[in-house]
A and B are shown apart, each in its own frame.
Chain A
Amino acid sequence: MDALDLARWQFAITTVYHFIFVPLTIGLAPLVAAMQTAWVVTKKERWLRLTKFFGKLLLINFALGVVTGIWQEFQFGMAWSEYSRFVGDVFGAPLAMEALAAFFVESVFLGVWIFGWDRVSKKVHLASIWLFALATNLSAFFILAANSWMQHPVGVVYNEATGRAEMESIWAVLTNNTLLAAFPHTITAAFLTAGTFVTGVAAWWMVRLARTKKAENLETARDVYRPAVRLGVWVMIVAGLGVIWSGDVQGKLMYEQQPGKMSSAEALCEGTESAEFSILAVGPLYAGCEDVAHLISIPGVTSYLGTGEFSGPDSYLPGVYDVQEEYAERYGETTADGQEVTYTPPLAVTYWSFRLMMGFAAFSVALALAALWLTRKGRISDNVWLSRLGILAIPMPFVANSFGWIFTEVGRQPWVVAPNPTGIDQVRLLTERGVSTAVPPGVILTSMIVLTLIYAVLAVVWYRLMHRYAIEGVPDAVRDESPEAQDPDDADRPLSFAY
């Protein structure tokens, strides 16, 4: 493998890994903040117990998101320095803004939240978890602004003299329509992840306690875990609808902005009206279009996803061949060093990642409906199938998130900065031109192996901690630790929390 392939694999591994933890933090932080708000407002102890319980899981998860995030910012310069030179004038700004506007808030106020239970007033403490939650979401906005710009560059011009993309309007970059669709899609997917997580864990506990038939356990199931299940279910329902809606908006934009991504996702070889949605395709997808056979298809659905029309002339979608022909004409059949360029992404990866993204998200739908029904009108459930479904469903949105990003990023290939067909056509960069030229392949291979090994160890630790803290359940005894609830004469008491 050459430096390019290695840098690609490294980017894929580290980015997918980083994004295992990020969505749970984005979604769970506001849920924990909501639980704590419920405690402060209603003074009901159950909400404090749930805050402590899910708060601990949030912290275990957040730690890995943080430490794997540093590499994300650094690897653009380290492994993709030519990309960085080309885009830095515009791409660096949202990254710097993320650090200044969001990441400082996150890190500082999370510190206040973790250690501040007995140091700051109840209101200030509550405000810190909300600031943390808002900042994690704001972080996502800036990072997606940077990514959306790679999918659909706006607000820039190409400078012939410097050979780089130069920003003309930060406003255009931050209101990119690709971003305005990707942001809600990512955020609702994060809430779906967190909603599934909360429902899955709480439903498992509710069923477990209900099956003991002991009065005090039934009380805990009803009083503590059922409200958490209901909260998670409603978050899943609202977030799920948001995911579908925002995904639909994205599909239509993608058809305009990155037709190659759309046609590859559908393994649509020839352009057609009323394009069918393929559920199962066989044949050597990896080899390209030639021998693909669609076994199960729904007429018109792909056209609807792309154009909003099931049939008729407006439902026309270009195929892989059409995109190749058009792009070859526009951007040249060969690169500067004479190699032929394939202007559509790898078919098998885009086709399957698109379907797996949607398919894995479906587990959440099943859990939401089952939990909603089984806990209707104040009921608690002792149905063991609910707890099994809950456990099964927890990892599914994580997998769906990963496939979503694999689809987005692989689908953009061969570009690292895809050309904007309606605008500044010259701002485009093939991925192969973005890799660092000064870094030998062996060095990238080394970092890839080192990071993969460390990440693997961390994944085991993370999983075992999450797992074990989840089965520890909500704490039995909680007390109001806030300064206003303390005896002022007891100023020398130990810290309420310490590492």
Chain B
Amino acid sequence: MDLAILWFVIIAVLWTGYLVLEGFDFGVGMLLSILPRGDKEHREKERRVLVNTIGPVWDGNEVWLLTAGGATFAAFPEWYATMFSGFYIPLLIILVGLVARGVAFEYRGKIADPVWARRCDQAIQLGSWIPAVLWGVAFGNLVRGLLLDADHQYVGGFWALLNPFALVGGLTTLTLFLLHGAVFVALKTDGEIRDRAQRLASGLAVVALVVAGGWAIWAQVAYSVTWTWGAVVVAALALLGVVAATRARREGTAFTLSAVTLVAAVVLIFGSMYPEVIPAVDGGNSLTIAEASSTDYTLTVMTWVAVFLTPVVIAYQSWTYWVFRRRLSTKDIPAPAGLSWQKIKDAAF
């Protein structure tokens, strides 16, 4: 098999890992003010339940993004260069979101103060909603194509990225991540919040079926190839399965099926791009796998690295999900361990 095509598949796998894993992180972050109920104190406890369902794992999940980025750089320098410079503004906004969110996770509990916690929650939500939409916009544009000149430079400008198809793509990732997050919360918590997450998930699955289904059909009709209808059918069946599984309180099954939906979405996206990495639009140029790829030597080296390391990574990352498998509820959450705001303010060496 052609190594460049293998690497196209590997990049798709890395993005799958990223979207499946950080997808529910984003979902949990977005649900931070939506799911918690009750009085002030109880809401804060429930928010801490939510944050702690992903506390030990979110950073490991985000490394899939860095790996996808690094692998694209190594295996397809032209693709990396054109895509990252072309998507400069959306990527900047995504990165700002990821920065705010990461810091907020880690620093939220460091100061025991309600105002501080609210600020961190706002950062987490901002850093979850924005990337959840923008990743879909970015992938929507990759499916649709970008206006490239003969040197493979993106010349379409920023506003062209906000076309209807890409925006619906953004809505698609948004609903899929919200659903994925709600299903994850139902799987990882206990008590009232679990019930609420379950109800929300079965409703969101229907919304996702409409939004994602509509986008997928649009993609199929306008930009894709016949065989990716298979992915669309799988995604639709998986979403129907999520509705059934959440109603039957089978959270493990529901989570697996919402992950399958995301896998199917990546198959659709990458399947429709193939054999290009950036399809042509408006009479411009396309960038093909062959044009974008590194040399055979580099791809061979990277193949060995990926073949040896990826299974190991998956093994120990799965193990941590096993370690932290316990469902959390408000009674598991210890008293805040951070320093008081007064102490932070009074600091003087």
Interface residues of A (CB under 8 A from B): 59-60, 62-64, 66-71, 73-74, 76-79, 81-82, 84-85, 87-93, 95-101, 103-105, 107-112, 114-116, 119-120, 164, 166-168, 170, 204, 391, 436-439, 443, 446-447, 450-451, 454, 458, 461, 464-465, 467-469, 471-472, 492, 494-499
Query: What are 7 contact pairs spanning A and B, CB under 8 A?
Result: A73-B66, A74-B69, A74-B91, A92-B71, A92-B72, A436-B81, A498-B48
B225 lies within 8 A of chain A by Cβ: no
Assuming the A-B contacts A78-B92, A96-B74, are A469 and B339 also in contact, with contact meaning beta carbons closer than 8 angstroms in the complex? yes
Q: Which residues of B contact A74 (CB under 8 A)?
A: 69, 84, 91, 95
Say whether A112 contacts B56, CB under 8 Å. yes
Q: Report B71-109 residues with CB < 8 Å from chain A CB.
A: 71-78, 80-89, 91-92, 95-96, 98-100, 102-103, 105-109
Assuming the A-B contacts A68-B99, A70-B99, are A89 and B332 also in contact, with contact meaning beta carbons closer than 8 angstroms in the complex? no
Say whether A64 contacts B103, CB under 8 Å. yes
Say whether A93 contacts B301, CB under 8 Å. yes
Q: Which residues of A contact B332 (CB under 8 A)?
A: 494-495, 498
Say whether B65 contacts A104, CB under 8 Å. no
The 8 A-B pairs at the shortest CB distance, nearest first, are namely A88-B77, A77-B84, A92-B74, A92-B73, A96-B70, A63-B106, A81-B81, A81-B85
Q: Which of B177-185, B232-240, B248-256, B304-312 contacts A (4 or more CB under 8 A)?
A: B304-312
Say whether B99 contacts A84, CB under 8 Å. no
Most buried by A among B60, B86, B153, B317: B60
A-B contact number at CB 8 A: 256
A73 to B56, CA, bound (A): 23
Residue of B nearest to A62 (CB): B106
A437 to B81, CA, bound (A): 11
A87 to B298, CA, bound (A): 12
Min CB gap A453→B, angstroms: 10
B122 lies within 8 A of chain A by Cβ: no
B227 lies within 8 A of chain A by Cβ: no
Q: Which residues of A contact B310 (CB under 8 A)?
A: 100
Q: Which residues of B contact A79 (CB under 8 A)?
A: 85, 88
Q: Which residues of A contact B69 (CB under 8 A)?
A: 73-74, 77, 99
A70 to B131, CA, bound (A): 14
A467 to B52, CA, bound (A): 26
A8 to B311, CA, bound (A): 39
Say whether B84 contacts A465, CB under 8 Å. no
A431 to B177, CA, bound (A): 41
Instruction: State the interface size on chain B (CB cutoff 8 A).
Output: 80
Q: A73-B66, A99-B67 are in contact. List 4 more A-B contacts (CB 8 A).
A: A88-B73, A92-B73, A107-B59, A495-B333
A99 to B301, CA, bound (A): 15
Q: Which residues of A contact B154 (CB under 8 A)?
A: 438
Assuming the A-B contacts A77-B73, A84-B81, A119-B324, are A97 and B305 also in contact, with contact meaning beta carbons closer than 8 angstroms in the complex? yes
Min CB gap B311→A, angstroms: 11
Assuming the A-B contacts A90-B298, A107-B59, are A99 and B77 also in contact, with contact meaning beta carbons closer than 8 angstroms in the complex? no
Most buried by B among A81, A85, A105: A81
A378 to B88, CA, bound (A): 58
B295 lies within 8 A of chain A by Cβ: yes
A77 to B337, CA, bound (A): 41
Say whether A472 contacts B339, CB under 8 Å. yes
Q: Which residues of A contact B349 (CB under 8 A)?
A: 204, 391, 467, 471
Min CB gap B190→A, angstroms: 11
Min CB gap A387→B, angstroms: 9
Say whether B75 contacts A67, CB under 8 Å. no
Say whether B320 contacts A108, CB under 8 Å. yes
A69 to B65, CA, bound (A): 12
Q: Which residues of A contact B86 (CB under 8 A)?
A: 438
Q: Which listed residue (A66, A110, A498) contacts B102, Cβ 8 A?
A: A66
Assuming the A-B contacts A63-B107, A494-B332, A499-B48, are A107 and B73 also in contact, with contact meaning beta carbons closer than 8 angstroms in the complex? no
B159 lies within 8 A of chain A by Cβ: no
Q: Which residues of B contact A468 (CB under 8 A)?
A: 339, 343-344, 347
